Structure 1
Amino acid sequence: MSSSTVNLKQPNASPGTTKARGLRRPGFRRTAIGLVVPILILLAWQWVGQSAAMAGLVPTPVQVARAWYVWMFGNPGLGLNPYQGTWLGNVQYSSLRVLQGFLLAMLLGIPLGLSIGWSRLMSHMFDPLIQGLRPIPITAWLPFSIALFGIRDMGAIFLIFLGGFYAIVVNTTQGARDVDRNLVRAAQMMGAKPAHMLRRVVLPAAMPSIFTGLRIGLGISWTAVIVSEMVAVKSGLGYVLWDAYYVGRMDIVLADMVSIGLMGFISDRLIVMIEHHVLAWRMLQNH
């Protein structure tokens, strides 16, 4: 090969160049940007907790982290700390209740929302009732739940169901009403029956709104489980939150609040992952 031939091969990237490219990746940048505000909040919290005015009133992040570690990894039954080593069990209790109530809300809310949004008759029958019950807060249902189910898991599951149900129904209804009428006309011209159209046209078109309702409903479900466990049951993160406040363990209270937020965030990310998988066609369409 002559000396005038151009070498098209790129030289091997140096380790420094590879590292610099890694730092410029969008995922790394998003993570770094997302950590800025939490770190600033932690620093401000530590400063306030160590100040003379708040000393002993507001536990510092270091104190909360220490209490959280003992709550998570300590040996239950040893020592005088009643919360030692009980974190995982309480997370499991709360998560199972949220899962049961939320699945029940999904199984009832999605079909009902599709029916209300698609059928004028169903809308006239059910929409006024739902809109009338929806503004009633979860706390207002607590006495009814205790009277009906007692201090048992079913009372908490009932409140969680109510928390997620209305968000799912309303968003699913709106998604069914916003279906492109050209798609409906095309399906009708091809001889699609109502049940087939509902399953193959309306449901896929309403999926983005359904997932929005699922995410909102799941967040409300975590709120409902904490409220219900404070009163209606004697286990779970909500029960620990109220019990720790009652005995003055504010470090456990704050660790419990962080745990609730963490579990809510993880469950929301699971819904988003499922959404990306189910709506992969929409992602490709947007690109």
Structure 2
Amino acid sequence: MTALTKSWERLAVPLFILAAWEVFSRSGVLPQALLPAPSVVLHTWADWITGFDESSQANSGRWLADALSSALRVAAGYAIAAVSGVALGIAIGWWRWVERTVEPTIQMLRPVPPVSWIPLAIIWFGIANKPAIFLVFLGAFFPILMNTIHGVKTADRNLIRAASMMGATEQQLLRHVVFPAALPSIFAGLRIGIGAAWMLTVTAEMVAVKSGLGYVLWDSYYFLRYDLVLAAMASIGLLGFATDGAIKLLMSAALHWQHGSTLQSREG
């Protein structure tokens, strides 16, 4: 399959959706103010980025600053979630006493929606970056944690026994056997977590922060600027797609040893 064919397959669905959206928006079924056409959204988005005609008004030319504000909050909260989620997940998955001690509390906290923490986050941290970072952490932490636990618990016991028989210490087992075996599950959790991180930073910016893509989205809603609302949604989607792509590249590099077995299984 050629690179051109692969590119067309990836673009076919988005292009179809945009074309159908454009036709439907201009058909008059709904007022265009309520559902702006993609061409209108792109025009507003371009001004938000470049400020060429100030059609996005106060937001004209401010996209980079807004995107950077959101990205920094995502990066901070996600980094904390990734480090703590992987570390605690390995501990829960490997040591039974940690599982008995910690997991009941984790399982009670996990079903609580992160958005329900917003009032407490504002009380604890005020109106600034900290409550947004805290909410991003909550959104990303549990998917990473649960997938790490799963990865550790499903590590091949034959490999662990073989390494133990060869004299490996517990630290060596964790570092050279268990952790590599758990990496596919860990990366699955990291990919789920980055999506949750973007969702939560937008939610936090709607109520607890006065900058970023989420704040622009909510502020535009109040002023009935649905073209800018849609541009903000598209911006979040593209940034989320880009960060997920970065994690996939890291996963491909870290799990290079899987490629051969995957290819063989496909050929078989």
Change (3 A) 1:80 1:240: closer
Q: Any conservation in 1 of the 2:44–2:55 contact (CA below 8 Å)?
A: no
**1:73 matched to which residue of 2?**
50
Match of 1:82, SS state, is: helix
Listed as ranges, the matches of 1:101-116 within 5 Å are 101-116=77-92
Structure 2: how far apart are the matches of 1:119 and 1:150?
Answer: 38
- Residue matched to 2:225: 249
Mapped pair 1:61 → 2:61: no
| Structure 1: runs of 5+ lacking an equivalent | 1-23
CA contact (8 A) 2:48 2:56 kept: no
Structure 1 position 206 matched with structure 2 position 210: no
Answer yes or no: is the 8 Å Cα contact 2:47–2:56 preserved in 1.
no
State which of 132, 145, 163 in structure 2 corresponds to 1:187: 163
Of 91, 114, 119, 1:143 maps to 119
Displacement of 1:132 in angstroms is: 1.1
Question: Which stretch of structure 1 is more off in the superposition, 214-223 or 117-126?
Answer: 117-126
Q: 1:51 aligns with which of 20, 23, 27?
A: 27
Q: Which has the larger radius of gyration?
A: 1
Partner of 1:132: 108
Which position in structure 1 is the counterpart of 2:63?
87
Query: Does 1:270 pair with 2:246?
Result: yes
1:79 CA drift (Å)? 8.3
Q: Is 2:206 the partner of 1:235?
A: no
1:13-28 aligned within 5 A? 24-25=1-2, 27-28=3-4
Corresponding residue number in structure 2 for 1:37: 13
Contact between 2:44 and 2:56, CA under 8 Å: does it hold in 1?
no
Question: Per-residue displacement from partner, 1:110-163 (whole Å, max 9, x unpaired)?
Answer: 010011111111111111111111111121010010010010101100000011
State how far apart, in whole Å, the 1-side matches of 2:233 and 2:55 are.
24
**Partner Cα distance (1:55, 1:170) in 2:** 45
If the length of structure 2 is used for normalisation, what is the TM-score?
0.95
From the two aligned structures, give the one with the greater helix fraction.
2
Rounded Cα–Cα distance in structure 1 between residues aligned with 2:8 and 2:68: 31
Distance in 1 (alpha carbons) for counterparts of 2:126 and 2:22: 42
Q: What is the CA-CA distance between 1:284 and the residue it aligns to?
A: 2.4
Q: 1:152 aligns with which of 117, 128, 147?
A: 128
Question: Which TM-score applies when normalising by structure 1?
Answer: 0.88
Q: CA RMSD in A?
A: 1.4
Q: Which amino acid aligns with 1:129?
A: T
Q: Which residue of 2 aligns with 1:222?
A: 198
1:53 offset after TM fit, Å?
Answer: 2.4
Matching residue within 182, 197, 222 for 2:173: 197
Residue 117, structure 1, aligned to residue 90, structure 2: no
Distance 2:28 2:256 in 1: 54
Describe the SS at the equivalent of 2:59.
coil
State the identity as a percent.
45
Query: What's the offset of the Cα at 1:103?
Result: 0.4
Equivalent-residue separation in structure 2 for 1:33 and 1:286 (angstroms):
22
Once the two structures are overlaid, the 10-residue window that deviates more, 174-183 or 50-59, is 50-59
Consecutive unaligned residues of structure 2, counting only runs of 5 or more, are 264-268
* Counterpart residue type for residue 260 of structure 2: L
The one-letter amino acid paired with 1:230 is M
SS in 2 for 1:58: coil
SS of the equivalent of 2:46 reads helix
Alpha-carbon distance, 1:280 to partner: 0.6
Q: How far apart, in 2, do the equivalents of 1:170 and 1:160 lie?
A: 17
